[in-house]
Structure 1
Amino acid sequence: MSNAASRLDDFRHRRTILVTGGAGYIGSHAVLALRDAGWQVAVIDNLTTGFRWAVPDDVAFFEGDIADGPLLARIISDQSIGAILHFAGSIIVPESVSDPLKYYANNTVKSRALIEAAVTGGVKHYIFSSTAATYGTPATDGPIMESAPQVPINPYGTSKLMTEWMLRDVAAAYDFNYCALRYFNVAGADPRARTGQSTAGATHLIKVAVEAALGKRDHVAVFGTDFDTPDGTGVRDYIHVSDLAHAHVLALEHLISDPASSHTLNCGYGHGYSVLEVLNAVDRVTNLKIERKVAGRRAGDPAALTADSNAIRSRFGWTPQHDDLEMIVRHALAWERKLMDVKR
């Protein structure tokens, strides 16, 4: 067994992975992916947007805030935490424009507190849920590389970029490495329908569209039809949440195996779909016609965002399994139906 493999095997048997926001949408999928890969997991979540039932009963769960230093110190010590996957935060772009202080508090200030708790508690590996919003409006057409200028156009993107900077500086000063994964548009649900996006009033397009298809909304708003795109509506790179969760498992393994390395990587498929293309796909899957209502552009929305994901594919061997828009829609739809059955 190689030194890296031996280090990874030893870590897996002795250490627990702390998932912040593990009762939320992406965090709950990461918990499942970690457990499926044989990792011991603990979760901290304040349940503002997450759900206690989204965390398996045999996973250690702590209801609390990631800025609660004494609580984090106790969790890190009692649970033998060896790495942190940080998902907790606020994610709605227009809200960040209208309430920037909330985003700097939740996404930046509290992330700083979590990083400090990690360093103080001897946690050496940290994976951060970042965003393509750090790029702002791309200067050129086509997929964005990680080396593209970081010029966010909304407080959401800025709040995440500031955390990336903190991680960079902490890794230079301490025995600590990190991976910041810049997500593009996350969608879908666990293929086995164990978890999915459950937050009421969600703004993610595919979630909204399947809700409309099932009669939970009477229409879908199309925010802007005058973008510089083929059909005038915004184009995004939609990544299946389970592919994204798997990327986190690979990132964890690489941080442990190579503790001298840190990474900042895009997570997307490298191609995008417009709002109208997504709605047409939902129509095809459901054999229905969703009502569209055109509205004005939302503050902070760029015309198109797609990922150049060559770096994560080559460094981590990440190979997406669900790069199919209609498959993403089917999984989201199955989860939405399950939610409806639970609530009856």
Structure 2
Amino acid sequence: MSKVLIVAEHLDGKLNAATAKCVSAAKALNPEAIDVVVLAADPTAVAAEAARISGVSKVRAVASEANAHALAQVQAPQVVRLAEGYSHIFGPSTTFGKDLMPCIAAILGVSQVSDLMAVEGSHTFKRPIYAGNAIVTVEAPAGSVVVATVRTASWPQAEHGGNAEVEQVSVDVPLPSHTRFVKLSAGSSDRPDLQSARRVISGGRGVGSAENFKIVYDLADKLGAAVGASRAAVDAGYVPNDMQVGQTGKIIAPELYVAIGISGAIQHLTGIKDAGTIVAINKDADAPIFEVADLGLVGDLFQVLPELQAQIP
């Protein structure tokens, strides 16, 4: 039987929703147990939140000042030591997971399965390739530990309602000193987090300038939505790169995605293909975005958006 260990992603004492999506992926294995490990200076609050995720058998809380900041090189040896006896180690396919999980795989001497989007068997999975244009089936060697990042856009959040045991554990393992924390630079915003928001409004090159992006922000505030951008808008300097949606940005799956002035390059479509409803606003009727949009509006965004906002209470 499979036994899964999930590495929790958290920040400022709050559990990232991506962890609950990893639990959904783990459930598809029909495992004997799904445990979550929380590494932090003080894991109490995060561990309690993880324990409420339905399907979690146990939460293993590791309190150490070395875990005050999420450094992959420091956390990986601890996870590997704790993972003895587990058949699978999962982490989210976020910036956090993409940094940590390869380190874990390297220490264990196994190949990582990236962007796991479907489970076919205990060691057989589906993942996207070629910017999401094709889905490939990959098979890990039988008997080996499976280290995988879970494509969060492909899995729902596991519901809350569980009451798992929280176990305080210590890990005695040499930690590397060649990597150290310098600082965390993060944009502050009152809007929802881009990767977990139910509604996302994104602007592209067609918005024209950083100043013009205000029209996108205004609509997002009306709808209580997060704000994203295409790579073209980021490269043009309209917005910072942490707002980029797409293959080289964030992969998201909101209930509603509104693309404003975005042509729809395949790299961008990769990041939104799992959205519930896609709405496109573009003055170019031949823009590729309309091929995937559920609703499309051909028109000048600077005329359309004020009219649209006027209709929103």
TM-score by length of 1: 0.35
Which of 1 and 2 has higher RCO (CA within 8 Å, sep 6+)? 1
More strand by share: 2
CA radius of gyration, larger in: 2
More helix by share: 1
TM-score by length of 2: 0.37
